[in-house]
Structure 1
């Protein structure tokens, strides 16, 4: 029911994060972003658009242009783009500092003026309200909408003595020998990857367990594509084309979704070392994944055997590996 706004957060914490003393309690907010259209009866409606349907009304946690109050302290915002297709371009009327994304904390905090988020991407930011006078209204904004997505009225609060650490985490870079990709994935139009629409019983390739591979995502049309890998995080190492030619601050560290515009080319490093079995790669734009822009692959210590097993199971069901008697 994602089409009708069903979505939410899994919150995963660890000792490293707890040790930082990040804003919590009433100073930690979870914001689920999406957009909708309404028909004449006030029901959620999306036109049939294979390229991706965007709405005229933005929602945060199911509310249109909500208003809230916050103390003049540092506010932690954990934000998820749960839209069908919209790319949000977020900014605020107070200083924003990026501290994390899909896979957790970044190595160091990064001040940002604007953050671009495709569907399924997540960010973790600190909104600094310490120098905002009580009674002031601070907006969380998007370029596409005249009114703020969220209005925060600042109130007097207890003094905030917490200091943002200079270092948040240690992220070990993945290492790949060679500049050429091991695999290239071409996202075509609204429904195919490498000339193939999704087929549930087709397994496209196998990857050796624990091996670091370099993957390239490219397309000439039908973008933007928020590309998502199930069951693994990756590191974005290169972006070229369409003017940006750089890895953005919110794309550093560990990601599981990366936004690719046409005709951009994005390279990632990925390693599958926790689970042997089937995985899924797809565009997270709902219209594109529903149209077939997905593929299955498999990971195993013996890739050829894993591929054969997965193909049999896709056709006939799980293989029984136990004996009676």
Structure 2
């Protein structure tokens, strides 16, 4: 979820660092609301790494075992095993100041692993790393989690991290759980406009329209819906003559000049800017439609006519900034939401 939605607070409640005012918290089927943090058998990895600067990598990883009074030989055996798993063996005598960001993050994970907890809690552990290292560490953490087989709750505001790492993803907004599902289901079947706008990059385009018969009227254009749209969403018929919010993802908008083989409807637009990424073009369009705010301030524009839309075009597209084009839409890919509740139809 976005910043300030309650992700870290929820994690701290699980860890026992925040009091729970109502409800229950069960770990392995056991209610732990009144259980001290030290007895919950969980390990937390923080954004700041929280390493002891005066200790070596070995001493940082072994710290909890030393506090527990474990024999020196046992400590060495366990730390050596973890160091091998995390590729830290050659760095065991180094101090944190001499490590890279990725290496420090691995040491922080090693310190959590040494306890052999029932669950890991990770609070935005990769946010301090540069983009390239984040991608690398994302893969390393995912691989490590599969290898260890330990349940891990991972907090992030980055939906790419959530979608690529999570078996199940919980989306939060304003302290309220919006949807818990697999990444695929979140993407294909968002329960409301907020989830639709938050999951996916660039965000889903959301517009307000009036459903007249089998046509969506928005601004100065109309889109005729195929029968399949009503079959998939029987409730859509009840919005006849009323306003409805429809959404379309950037990857489901096409350059009509290179989609001539498909019978898609087209909408006029003006290209305002293009981001050329090599494998694709992110094309920003200006169209005459009523844009809708999904509730995520970073996801979409304010309400208004002559609104912006974003499309992902293939690199063979010849569109350029300032050009007048017609882009193609596949109404089979539309998502529909109630304009008042923003719940999916």
TM-score, normalised relative to structure 2: 0.25
Query: When you count strand as a share of all residues, which structure comes out higher?
Result: 1
Bigger relative contact order (CA 8 A; separation at least 6): 1
Of structures 1 and 2, the larger Rg is shown by 2
Query: When you count helix as a share of all residues, which structure comes out higher?
Result: 2
TM-score, normalised relative to structure 1: 0.27
